[in-house]
Structure 1
Amino acid sequence: MTRGREEAPGAERRSSGVEGDEGAGGGLPRLESGIPRLDYILKGGFLQSGTYALMGPPGSGKTIFGNQLCFEHVRRSPGSRCVYVTLLVESHSKMIRHLSGMKFFDAAAIPDRVYYISGYPALRDQGLSGLLDLLRRTLRERRGTDVLVIDGLESVEQRAPSALAFREFVHEIQGLSSFSACTTFVLSSLREQTHAENALVDGVIELTDQLIGPRAVRELTVHKFRGSDYLRGKHEVEIDTSGMVIHPRIEIQFDSPRESATEERQRMRFGIETFDAMIEGGVLSGSATALLGAPGTGKTLLGLSFLVEGAGRGEEGVYFGFYEPPPRLCEKARQVGIDLETHVRKGTIRLIWQPPLEHRMDSLAEQLIELLRQDPKPRRRLFIDGIEGFRAASVYPDRMPRFLSAFTNQLRMLDVTTLVSEELDLFTPLIKMPNAELGNVVENVILLRYVELRSQIHRLLSVLKMRESLYDRSIREFVITGRGIEVASSFRSAEQILSGQARVAAGLDGEEEQ
């Protein structure tokens, strides 16, 4: 995944939820944070000379946020300077030692362009007025400073003789920012309801770090942002050696898709002659198809056949899976006569495997959409092997309907024809979508299932749904051989197949009805 992007994955730069709408604050000068996708959430970045509060518990990433903003700012803006003021937090030497492993950290920028100073001695000895004098003197001496970070504001509130004195201090900080043309960030560990400064500052951002079940989840929420629109709600936060990366919710990133894709729609074949005939020559390009089936019914092989057929026609494909690593997938395809490996070597099919780790749902979707946007081409094919992987990565299961709707709509806009596999129970007398949200957002539904007859297991295939197209509603038996998937012209020897209770019909094969 590309870490250095400031916008949402592949999204055009826009300042409101609707493309072409400049939105509130569209003409005001901005200070870009350089923190991936935060500027997209803020519709362009922080307003210059504003004062912003960043709050959160210990470990939520406040110090990384402040330092990453400073180093990214001086990197992107030659001649700029930042001042980082600490108040009863970790020592500068320890802070720099911890930051040295981060990719954004640049020791050469210290102390000329990123200047660290402790404000606690002045606060302790001279009170709030002494700290203000130190800030004014530092900004005056270090001309050209356009970012000021004050880390540990709770120390100021604890030292303030009254709530009014603390509010006056914040008000003075605002005036200092405006007078010095300096954008100021105050970092605090206090909880939201005790933040007296929130009513005074221009924006309030909260970082959280909580356990949801066994998972530790970091999130960012913008509670207030004067002078501009912004993306509301919670957004995933990831911290690694790249620093902090924000993952805006997919359903709010792509809340205003175009009505249709721009490419002329065509039939996309699976390369299985009998099955392609059942669906009038293939699914329509730009559509989404659900492959439902129990484990082992052939969902993965059908998806790989779809990709290989497209690659043979010059249509690029992507496999995005959670269960089988690429070498095993190529071996599996080779055993049934599907030449996946050749197309992987040529680059016409890309295999992306997500190992069984704790993923983030929005991060997974961003990774895939970014990949597809890197080199836009018409009529590409995508096979997502296991929508359960996205569901398992979701911290909030009730997001799935909105997420899937926005995600599949975005894939359609990229003229990507998508197959998504979904697991069913091994044997069930009832047929229903295991997850209604998937059935609602796809155009086509294909069912693969087992049926037991005469002490043997048979595989059956049927098309349950195809929007915008005619299709054959009959049930077909299919087999998996060394030549791939072979679909029969019919399943004449059994009745009541969809009930899951197959029986031999009277008069067939000389047998009596069972």
Structure 2
Amino acid sequence: METGVPRLDFITKGGLLQGASYALLGPPGSGKTVLAHQIAFWHVKHGGKALYVTLLTESHARMLANLEAMSFFDATVIPEKLHYLSGYRQLETEGLKGLLELLRRAARAHQATLLILDGMDAAKEFARGDLTYKRFLQELQTFVSIIGCTTLLLSPHYSGDLPPETTAVDGVFELSLWLSGPRAVRELVAMKFRGSDSLLGKHELEISDRGIIVHPRTEVQFSNPTEQTEEPRVRMAFGIPRLDESLHGGLLSGSTTLLLGAPGTGKTLLGLRFLLEGARQGQPGVYFGFYETSQRLIEKAEGVGMSDLKRFVDEGLIEIQWQPPLEHNLDALAERLLERIQERKVKRLRLFVDSVAGFRSASVYPERMSRFFSALSHQLRMLDVTTVYSDETALFSPGVDSPQPDAAAYVENVILLRYVELRSQLYRLLSIMKMRESQYDSGIREFSITDKGITVADTFESAEAVLTGHAVLRGAPAKSPSSKPPMGAKAGAKKSSPKPKRKATRSTGRRRS
């Protein structure tokens, strides 16, 4: 039986079993009532009949008033298809035996195929012990299984021992609500599910005007990845001659690349250049970013010689997906990205994710990140997507430390961008740190960003001059080929005086700002 709750049926591998009984546990505010009603309205919409019985809970009028804003709510099915009944009076006067008899009569009278019993803690209070309570549950289960009626039992539950009904029912869903710093986190666990497999562990959920949406953990959704299809691989160039030469023609299609560098080193512009070059060759591209809107990206591109970005965006060849700087759910971001790519139904798609930090800030479990990105990157490969991620290093650091030490598990290629200071001036350097399944040039090159675009130096000499701290200004006599000035060094400098030369500050090439 389908639940109609987005991705809950994916967790249960097909939905609930007809005639089975399930416990929905969780503290107040965790979403039990919303979840039960969402299932009920879906059930009656598709031809079933539901009976909702309350035991010492809020009034039916108040309950329905709180649900009216939900998109699944439909007042026209009440009371013919979805009937409400209070069972507390029978429970108070006749105990569990009277309640059971009421449920039997009402289920038959309304031909219910779904029974929801809300407030099971009240029923437990009237039992003389756990044994009496379990006997009541067993008799109820026997009855509903005979008539083929699926049953949901709602109970408040806090941390600690599980209530007795968890041992008697066919399945248990535990909902939780907790704080991660100032952020409220809702989660669902399918603790028990007889008769079918299920995705174990915690899965985040959200409650909106659409009701409850479950977001299964990405690494569990794709825990059994398929082999990559044998598509011929081609080179995906950046359109920057010297960089493409260093990459032996470009990145391999279907690969994953990490642009690593401090803020301001040019990661976003280099990623946009990758998308732009693809569009010029007729290859579609997607920008999935967290920091800059479409308009700001277009303005930034126009300032560095990439004015045709706007045209390709207007034509739909390049799509900009901006995620506002709000609280995000990690797996919801992955779902949004994968669904959008699948909707485009194209091959040889280029993707630029700016940046990994946006996903990292959305996670409440930092230890998940390596497995999460491994699963996401593999799915992107299966879709024949060539992915470029950006990620930041420290602005000032004596070394190059990746914020994601396990990045080697999900990226084949790493390109490092960095600043180097020489004589009170900053220079940008680029180097290819790693390129799996391909030859590459490992030399360090200087690169510059101007209103004409991104330029990478023809040789290693300018970078070598910067790194050694012996750059020679233009106009000064060159002592050797290796003493050429860095790109962008100021011209027209006068010859130095015969006074003893002041030693240039030696740079290791590892400082950045």
TM surpasses 0.5: yes
Q: What one-letter code is carried by the residue in structure 2 that aligns with 1:32?
A: E
Please tell me whether residue 428 in structure 1 is matched to residue 397 in structure 2.
yes
Q: What one-letter code is carried by the residue in structure 2 that aligns with 1:424?
A: T
CA-to-partner distance for each residue in 1:409-466, whole Å, 9 max, x for gaps? 1111111100000011224332242321223310000011111112211111111100
Aligned to 1:26: none
Partner-residue secondary structure (3-state), 2:340? helix
Aligned to 1:460: 429
Aligned to 1:3: none
CA-to-partner distance for each residue in 1:224-243, whole Å, 9 max, x for gaps? 11111110000001100000
Contact 1:474 / 1:490 at 8 angstroms: preserved in 2? no
2:358 to 371, 386, 389: 389
Q: What one-letter code is carried by the residue in structure 2 that aligns with 1:414?
A: L
Q: 1:253 to 1:129 in 2, by over 3 A?
A: same
Higher mean Cα deviation, 483-492 or 112-121?
Answer: 483-492
Please tell me whether residue 219 in structure 1 is matched to residue 148 in structure 2.
no
Q: What one-letter code is carried by the residue in structure 2 that aligns with 1:182?
A: C
How far apart, CA to CA, are the structure 2 residues paired with 1:53 and 1:365?
30
Partner-residue secondary structure (3-state), 2:172? strand
How far apart, CA to CA, are the structure 2 residues paired with 1:360 and 1:425?
25
How far apart, CA to CA, are the structure 2 residues paired with 1:503 and 1:464?
25
Contact 2:24 / 2:154 at 8 angstroms: preserved in 1? yes
How far apart, CA to CA, are the structure 1 residues paired with 2:104 and 2:246?
77
How far apart, CA to CA, are the structure 2 residues paired with 1:335 and 1:415?
32
Contact 2:393 / 2:400 at 8 angstroms: preserved in 1? no
Contact 1:261 / 1:286 at 8 angstroms: preserved in 2? no
After superposition, residues 195-214 of structure 1 pair within 5 angstroms as 195-214=163-182
CA-to-partner distance for each residue in 1:241-273, whole Å, 9 max, x for gaps? 000000000000011112223422110011111
Aligned to 2:510: none
- Give percent identity, aligned residues only: 53
Aligned to 1:61: 31
After superposition, residues 266-281 of structure 1 pair within 5 angstroms as 266-281=234-249
Aligned to 1:168: 135
Contact 1:404 / 1:437 at 8 angstroms: preserved in 2? no
How far apart, CA to CA, are the structure 1 residues paired with 2:295 and 2:226?
38
Contact 1:36 / 1:245 at 8 angstroms: preserved in 2? yes
Q: 1:198 to 1:502 in 2, by over 3 A?
A: farther
How far apart, CA to CA, are the structure 1 residues paired with 2:157 and 2:139?
20
After superposition, residues 144-159 of structure 1 pair within 5 angstroms as 145-159=112-126
Contact 1:261 / 1:412 at 8 angstroms: preserved in 2? no
2:322 to 345, 353, 365: 353
Q: What one-letter code is carried by the residue in structure 2 that aligns with 1:55?
A: L
Please tell me whether residue 340 in structure 1 is matched to residue 287 in structure 2.
no
How far apart, CA to CA, are the structure 2 residues paired with 1:45 and 1:337?
54
How far apart, CA to CA, are the structure 2 residues paired with 1:182 and 1:494?
75
Aligned to 2:511: none
After superposition, residues 169-188 of structure 1 pair within 5 angstroms as 169-188=136-155
How far apart, CA to CA, are the structure 1 residues paired with 2:340 and 2:471?
50
Contact 2:263 / 2:395 at 8 angstroms: preserved in 1? yes
Aligned to 1:72: 42
Aligned to 1:97: 65
CA-to-partner distance for each residue in 1:276-299, whole Å, 9 max, x for gaps? 111011100100000011111110
Contact 1:300 / 1:385 at 8 angstroms: preserved in 2? yes
Aligned to 2:20: 50
CA-to-partner distance for each residue in 1:349-377, whole Å, 9 max, x for gaps? 11111111110101100110111112322
Contact 2:465 / 2:471 at 8 angstroms: preserved in 1? no
How far apart, CA to CA, are the structure 2 residues paired with 1:203 and 1:417?
42
Q: Deviation at 1:496?
A: 8.2
Q: Deviation at 1:194?
A: 4.0
Contact 2:350 / 2:386 at 8 angstroms: preserved in 1? yes
Q: What one-letter code is carried by the residue in structure 1 that aligns with 2:324?
A: P
Partner-residue secondary structure (3-state), 2:442? coil
Q: What one-letter code is carried by the residue in structure 1 that aligns with 2:392?
A: E
Aligned-residue Cα RMSD (Å) equals 1.7
Contact 1:154 / 1:190 at 8 angstroms: preserved in 2? no
Q: 1:293 to 1:501 in 2, by over 3 A?
A: farther
After superposition, residues 79-478 of structure 1 pair within 5 angstroms as 80-143=48-111, 145-191=112-158, 193-338=161-306, 339-478=308-447
Q: What one-letter code is carried by the residue in structure 2 that aligns with 1:34?
A: G
Contact 2:429 / 2:463 at 8 angstroms: preserved in 1? no
How far apart, CA to CA, are the structure 1 residues paired with 2:457 and 2:465?
18
How far apart, CA to CA, are the structure 1 residues paired with 2:131 and 2:463?
83
Partner-residue secondary structure (3-state), 1:452? strand
Gaps in structure 2 of 5+ consecutive residues = 473-477, 485-494, 505-513
Q: What one-letter code is carried by the residue in structure 1 that aligns with 2:418?
A: R
Q: What TM-score results when the alignment is normalised by the length of structure 2? A: 0.90
CA-to-partner distance for each residue in 1:64-116, whole Å, 9 max, x for gaps? 000000001122x23x1111111111110001100000001011111111111
Q: What one-letter code is carried by the residue in structure 1 that aligns with 2:280?
A: G
Contact 2:222 / 2:375 at 8 angstroms: preserved in 1? yes
Gaps in structure 1 of 5+ consecutive residues = 1-30
